[in-house]
């Protein structure tokens, strides 16, 4: 029974949704909690050929016993929250903290028309930055004030602490990636709050002493959407040749790409206090690893790669992704 925080190690889109879903299916947590910014995130879960994208509901929805919570630190767009609950068929086990912030139309409009946000930074246009700004000014509406959200209201911090006291597992899901952090990222080309593991805990209302594991998710190459520095960035033609072409799941924009960056990864391990890591899309650099589900079946050179990387990072790599299906995941023996 443990409390685990999952965060992205680079600039988001590392495959957190898939890793969270896999971890949830094996740990069967009583409670899963979304932390992070808000619906600027897009987490993708592919199970048995069915693709589901979530922007607010935790990716642990795949585990039927898990209560799905959105914490006080998160911003919600009420209609999006409600439609996601219905589309995923999770009414009855979806909860929202009354202290979560509410994104209104005016925030979305401002995010899309303000030149600094839309052109210079290249935000997702989902209203999260302007809503955070209103929250800091203490003029943002909270979820508890919105009548349509009443059926979902819960004290999420209370739920988490009760679960911990009952000896149940809890899974906290962060969003974006470490270097999009307002404090530790490439400011000003960042999101509107810190998104490292500490902040995900703060969003949920648990202190550092409650956490057993911090799982940092890396992808086998680095991608970035929006503006800002990306070391060793490849030309779009090179990205295509490598088969690394991706589009943002919220905005549909082409993602910029670069090879795996060990220095960034090491810094991410430190900033998040990682106790373990996951590496997704191994098949993008070792095509023969595609779809493998057992460590022993991975090509020898890919196993050597994982071992070297683990040595360099100084923390165990516990999961390796080999395909888009949640179950295309190798549990690395330790």
Beta bridge partners of 94: 68
Cβ at position 250, least distance to Mg ion in Å: 7
If one asks whether residue 140 binds ligand IMP (CB under 6 A), the answer comes out as: no
Restricted to residues 9-38, the positions that interact with ligand IMP (CB under 6 A) are: 11-13, 37
Nearer to ligand IMP among residue 12 and residue 29 (C-beta) = 12
What is the dihedral sign for C-alpha 136, 40, 86, 72? negative
Q: What are phi and psi of 38, to 5 degrees?
A: 170, -150
Query: Could you give the residue numbers annotated as active site?
Result: 13, 43
Contacts of 39 (CB under 8 A, 6+ apart): 55, 56, 75, 76, 77, 80, 103, 126, 128, 250
Q: Which does 130 bind (CB under 5 to 8 A by kind): Mg ion, ligand IMP, none?
A: none
Give which of 32, 67, 29, 308 is closest to 174, Cα–Cα. 32
Q: Of 35, 226, 321, 323, which one interacts with ligand IMP (CB under 6 A)?
A: 226
Of the ranges 19-27, 184-192, 267-275, 290-298, which one interacts with ligand IMP (CB under 6 A)? Answer: 184-192
* Of 42 and 78, CB closest to ligand IMP: 42
Minimum CB–partner distance for residue 236 and ligand IMP (Å): 17
* Position among 4, 27, 40, 322 found at the interface with ligand IMP (CB under 6 A): 40
The two three-digit tokens of residue 177, written as one number: 């990636």
36 scored as a contact of Mg ion (CB under 5 A): no
- Is 101 one of the binding residues for ligand IMP (CB under 6 A)? no
Nearby residues of 31 by Cβ (< 8 Å), 6 or more positions away:
66, 67, 69, 159, 160, 163, 168, 170, 171
67 binds, among ligand IMP, Mg ion, none (CB under 5 to 8 A by kind): none
φ, ψ (nearest 5 deg) of residue 172: -100, 130
Q: Report the C-alpha gap between 185 and 182 in whole angstroms.
A: 6
Return the structure tokens found at 27. 């740990």
Residue 275 binds: one of ligand IMP, Mg ion, none (C-beta under 5 to 8 A by kind): none
DSSP string, 8-58: ESSSS-SSHHHHHHHHHHHH--SEEEE-SS-TT--EEEEETTEEEEESSS-
| One residue of 42, 58, 125, 185 binding Mg ion per CB under 5 A | 42
CA 99 to chain centre: 21
Integer angstrom CA distances of residue 207 from 5, 199, 202: 12, 10, 7
Nearest to ligand IMP of 40, 67 (CB atom):
40
Tell me if 129 contacts ligand IMP by CB under 6 A: yes
Q: Of these partners, ligand IMP, Mg ion, none, which one is at the site of residue 59 (CB under 5 to 8 Å by kind)?
A: none
Nearer CB in complex with Mg ion: 191/249: 249
Between 3 and 75, whose beta carbon lies closer to ligand IMP?
A: 75
Of 192-200, 244-252, 254-262, 302-310: span binding Mg ion (CB under 5 A)? 244-252
Q: Cα 139 vs. chain centroid, distance in angstroms?
A: 27
Nearest Cα to Cα of residue 24 among 217, 170, 176: 170
Q: By the criterion CB under 5 A, which residues form the site for Mg ion?
A: 13, 42, 249
Q: By the criterion CB under 6 A, which residues form the site for ligand IMP?
A: 11-13, 37, 40-42, 121-124, 126, 128-129, 175-176, 180, 189, 191-192, 225-226
């Amino acid at each position: 029974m443990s409390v685990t925080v999952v965060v992205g190690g680079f600039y988001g889109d590392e495959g957190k949704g898939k890793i969270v879903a896999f971890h949830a299916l094996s740990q069967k947590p009583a409670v899963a909690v979304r932390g992070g910014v808000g619906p600027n995130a897009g987490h993708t879960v592919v199970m048995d050929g069915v693709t589901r994208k979530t922007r607010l509901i935790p990716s642990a929805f795949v585990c039927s016993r898990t209560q799905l919570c959105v914490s006080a630190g998160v911003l919600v767009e009420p209609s999006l929250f409600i439609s996601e609950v219905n589309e995923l068929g999770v009414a009855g086990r979806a909860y929202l903290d009354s202290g979560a912030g509410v994104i209104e139309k005016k925030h979305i409009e401002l995010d899309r028309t303000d030149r600094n946000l839309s052109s210079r930074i290249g935000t997702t246009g989902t209203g999260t930055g302007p809503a955070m700004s209103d929250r800091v000014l203490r003029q943002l509406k909270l979820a508890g004030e919105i009548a349509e959200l009443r059926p979902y209201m819960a004290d999420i911090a209370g739920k988490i602490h009760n679960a911990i006291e009952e000896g149940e597992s809890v899974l906290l899901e962060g969003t974006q990636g470490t270097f999009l952090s307002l404090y530790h990222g490439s400011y000003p080309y960042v999101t509107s709050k810190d998104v490292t593991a500490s902040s995900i805990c703060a969003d949920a209302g648990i202190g550092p002493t409650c956490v057993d594991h911090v799982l940092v998710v890396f992808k086998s190459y680095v991608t970035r959407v929006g503006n800002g520095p990306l070391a060793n960035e490849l030309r779009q033609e090179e990205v295509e040749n490598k088969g690394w072409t991706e589009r943002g799941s919220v905005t549909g924009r082409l993602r910029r790409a670069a090879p795996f960056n060990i220095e960034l990864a090491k810094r991410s391990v430190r900033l998040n206090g990682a106790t373990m890591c996951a590496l997704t899309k191994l098949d993008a650099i070792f095509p023969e690893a595609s779809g493998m589900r057992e460590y022993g079946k991975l090509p020898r050179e890919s196993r050597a790669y994982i071992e070297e990387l683990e040595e360099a990072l100084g923390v165990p790599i516990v999961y390796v992704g080999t395909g888009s299906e949640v179950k295309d995941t190798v549990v690395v023996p330790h």
